[in-house]
Amino acid sequence: MADQKFKYIGRHRRAVEHRRFVIGRGRYAADIQLPGILHVAIVASPYASARILSIDSAEALALPGVHYVLTGEELQANIDPVLPGVDAPKVARYPLAHGVVRYAGEWVVAVVAESRAIAEDASELIQIEYEATPHVVDPEAGMADSAPRIHPQHGSNVILRKKFVWGGVEQDFAEAQHKLSYRVHWARSATVPIETFGVTCSWNDATQILDVWASIQMPKYPDQMAKSLRLPGNNLRVHYDVDVGGSYGVKRGLKHSILVGYLARKLGKPVRFLEDRLENMRGGDMQGPDRIFDVTLAFDGNGIVRSMRMRAIDDIGAYSGRSPLQLGKPIGAIVGPYRIQSVEYEAVSVMTNKTPQEAVRGFGQAPTNYAIESGIDKVARYLGMDRVELRLRNLIGKDEFPYLIPSGTHYDSGDYATVLGKALDAAPFDSLVQQRDALRAQGLLAGIGISTCLEPSGGNSSFEPLLNPKNQTTTWMDSCLVRIDLSGAVTALIGTSTSGQAHETLVSTVVGEVLEREPDSIRVLHADSLNALPSNSPVGSRMAIMLGGAAAGAAKKLRTKLMRIAAHNLQAPEAELSYADGDVVVTAAPERRISWDALVEISHRYYHKLPEGMEPGLQEKFVWEVPTGGKLPVDDRVQMYPCHSFEAHVILVSIDPQTGKTSIHRYVCGHDCGVKISPDVVHGMTYGGIAHGLGAALMEKFAFNEDGQLLSGTFMDYLLPSSKEVPSVTIVDHCTPSPLTEFGQKGSGESGYLGGPAAIASAINDALAPCKASIDALPMTPQAVWRALQQANSNQQGEKQYA
């Protein structure tokens, strides 16, 4: 139900963006066609670790249509490296390798030609001599002193190791009746958008501007690209009116962009690089977290969890961007939705000879949620307690907000037990139990899965100073400029591209709400980086909160200005006026009014009718800092994200014991993200997040062999869920408004994904429990389930033999 206090917010509205998508008029990076454009193909390393002995490009350069062959030697001499998000200045990263390669698939040479086909032909003519050197692919082996060093100058393969102790962990553990330790693995998967990364750059000798069109979703992208290319920021213009064909965190092709930008400037011609699928999967540097969690929970006989010790070892691959910070963000919800009063958390990021890790939906939260939820289920099983009852005993109560967790974040608001209850009722839970038992009676394995998880939202970067004291960043703003032109039409400018979040719909709905103008009449433009105000891009489920807040702020300034002009012309105090659909009336005498059109005309044409000293025209900007943000950590504690959405998953699965294949029979997600500005958009993200979580839980893995070769570089072996695997999902909404935001909204861009894998793992382990089997690693593929069943079977036979 739409909230009656809103005119447009919360109501069904067709997304503005869809009009162009359904007629084939989206404008993606690959659609940018410039005259005389040149194309890039990449020669990649076949070795996980090797010295480059020689590179011979003569034959390739002799091929008609080939313009240039770029090596790492030239590139590294002429640009600055991209440095990690943590304090490790010796772990430098360049688009092309020079001297050594550190993973199979690393880019070594770029060939530029008149067509991609010719560039690929030429790339096969490049002769590179390598000498293989020792490599390491296992992160725990990589932590050993004797392990081959990925970056010898750094001195260790560990790029981040930091232990936090929040609260009386020692005492809570000493006093606890029970302790339970476990290890779970989150496998290396990623969001794998259907569009690969693409970038086109064009350099103009006269203006000295490098124009960039890229499928990008990344904070500070123009700044970092300009810095690496040694250009002042105003010599680089990133065009944000490029539709991004999916990202969910990973579309951060900084190395691609720096490479193409360098080539465009060097050659004085437009240049583009579009990854093919293998380049994307192997050398695109967009694989996700790859974690081993060692957890111990301390709890009493009633199932009250008092304390937690967690160590997370994350394998970030051969180079570091912001990936180690993905261990930092979950600190803002390290106790999940539970009243766990103390926590010890050790974050360890390890480099190996694998493809580098990139930000993935949730920025590390989904793996951590999976680790916590696995433990909650294990405690229930250990105590013989119902999993729902155990959760209800530990969930933070709705009257306890704002709730301060041990690591320094206040949760803003919520009603977790009610949302869980709604999901259980919708299932309905009793029926799930009956269906599970009926499936078991048919000889199938069947189980019910539960998860209750937080979705921190309103993306901030508080984890940067927390994990890297040299980084004192506390600003993480977003902004919007709104103008009303002489015709009375409203236009809003935003400084980021969209990758499916419907920002044009969001901003026009919000501006329409504030100005009381029809949202479909409001145009929203993705400005370029030289024309736009600062944005930190749609990371951390932030745009409903931050872009929505910025747009509302700018619109409110305009509304205030219109009221002042009306008061001046109606000769009445503002307090006695009412604003209605853009017109302003004297509340007590409605015949005294001034219309929107008249106010607009006064603003643009009649300076003599403006209040003294007022700027003419109607154009306002608003730059908003993250609410609750702006502070540095104190005693290793900091407010991470401002808002906290909540999700409860309740599902029923069955497993064919002959094949190990899992089928999902019922999927319910209770969801509370506060006030929904665009309900269809929010639901869509939740459905999509669940599908994405299903992939991570059951199907998707970037598998490497012992030689460090990627085994799943195509969609034939890296399996994405289709409409046959993803079940019909029931979403049950609940609304606890956030007290921190303009309309009570919270973020939802990561919903579904943050609790889905935990729920599916929970269901599978419930299904396997009667066989005394269990799995503590994702993805739970048919092979993995089958192996777990065989293992349990042989264990039981062993027990019989020795009985």
Nearest partner of 149 among 207, 90, 84, judged by Cα: 90
Burial class (CB in 10 A: 0-12, 13-18, 19+), 501: buried
Closer CB to another protein, residue 31 or residue 776?
31
Q: Nearest approach, Cβ of 737 to another protein (angstroms)?
A: 23
CA atoms within 13 A on the CB side of 557: 19
Closer CB to another protein, residue 113 or residue 347?
113
Residues 657-696 contacting another protein, CB under 8 A: 680-681, 683-685, 687-692
Closer CB to another protein, residue 60 or residue 297?
60
Q: Nearest approach, Cβ of 361 to another protein (angstroms)?
A: 10
Q: Per-residue string for binding with another protein, 15-34, x by CB under 8 A?
A: x-xxxxxxxxxxxx-xx-x-
Residue 544 touching another protein (CB under 8 A): no
Residue 36 touching another protein (CB under 8 A): no
Select the residue interacting with another protein from 77, 573, 634, 724 (CB under 8 A).
724
> From residue 514, how far is each of 482, 492, 560 by CA, in Å?
12, 13, 11
Nearest partner of 621 among 686, 699, 532, judged by Cα: 532
Residue 384 touching another protein (CB under 8 A): no
Alpha-carbon distance of 496 to 531, in angstroms, equals 11
Q: Per-residue string for binding with another protein, 695-714, x by CB under 8 A?
A: -------------------x
Q: Per-residue string for binding with another protein, 134-173, x by CB under 8 A?
A: ----------------------------------------
Give the DSSP letter of residue 402: S
Q: Per-residue string for binding with another protein, 470-509, x by CB under 8 A?
A: ----------------------------xxxxx-------
Size of the chain, expressed as the number of residues it contains? 803
Alpha-carbon distance of 639 to 409, in angstroms, equals 4
The site for another protein, by CB under 8 A, has a size of 60
Nearest partner of 318 among 90, 156, 88, 157, judged by Cα: 157
Select the residue interacting with another protein from 48, 226, 395, 729 (CB under 8 A).
729
Closer CB to another protein, residue 217 or residue 765?
217
DSSP characters over 412-450? ----HHHHHHHHHHHTTHHHHHHHHHHHHHTT-EEEEEE
Interface stretch with another protein, choices 96-104, 238-246, 318-326, 622-630 (CB under 8 A): 238-246
Closer CB to another protein, residue 449 or residue 582?
449
Q: Nearest approach, Cβ of 426 to another protein (angstroms)?
A: 15
Q: Per-residue string for binding with another protein, 269-288, x by CB under 8 A?
A: -------xx-----------
Burial class (CB in 10 A: 0-12, 13-18, 19+), 9: buried
Q: Nearest approach, Cβ of 195 to another protein (angstroms)?
A: 5
Buried b (16+ CB within 10 A) or exposed e, 532-568: bbbbbbbbbbbbbbbbbbbbbbbbbbbbebbbbbbbb
Alpha-carbon torsion angle 681, 682, 687, 693, nearest 10 = 120
Helical packing angle, 221-228 and 254-267, nearest 10°: 50
Residue 117 touching another protein (CB under 8 A): yes
Q: Nearest approach, Cβ of 543 to another protein (angstroms)?
A: 13
Nearest partner of 196 among 287, 284, 305, judged by Cα: 284
Complete edge-to-edge strand list for the sheet that includes strand 523-526: 523-526, 490-494, 478-484, 619-624
Q: Per-residue string for binding with another protein, 178-217, x by CB under 8 A?
A: -------------xxxxxx---------------------
CB 563 within 8 A of CB 574: yes
Residue 726 touching another protein (CB under 8 A): yes
Q: Nearest approach, Cβ of 274 to another protein (angstroms)?
A: 8
Q: Is 67 strand, coil or helix?
A: strand
Residue 432 touching another protein (CB under 8 A): no
Buried b (16+ CB within 10 A) or exposed e, 714-749: eeeebbebeeebbbebebbbbbbbbebbbbbbbbbb
Interface stretch with another protein, choices 237-245, 415-423, 520-528, 538-546 (CB under 8 A): 237-245
Residues contributing to the site for another protein (CB under 8 A)? 14-15, 17-28, 30-31, 33, 64, 117, 191-196, 243-248, 276-277, 498-502, 680-681, 683-685, 687-692, 714-716, 720, 722-724, 726, 728-729, 752
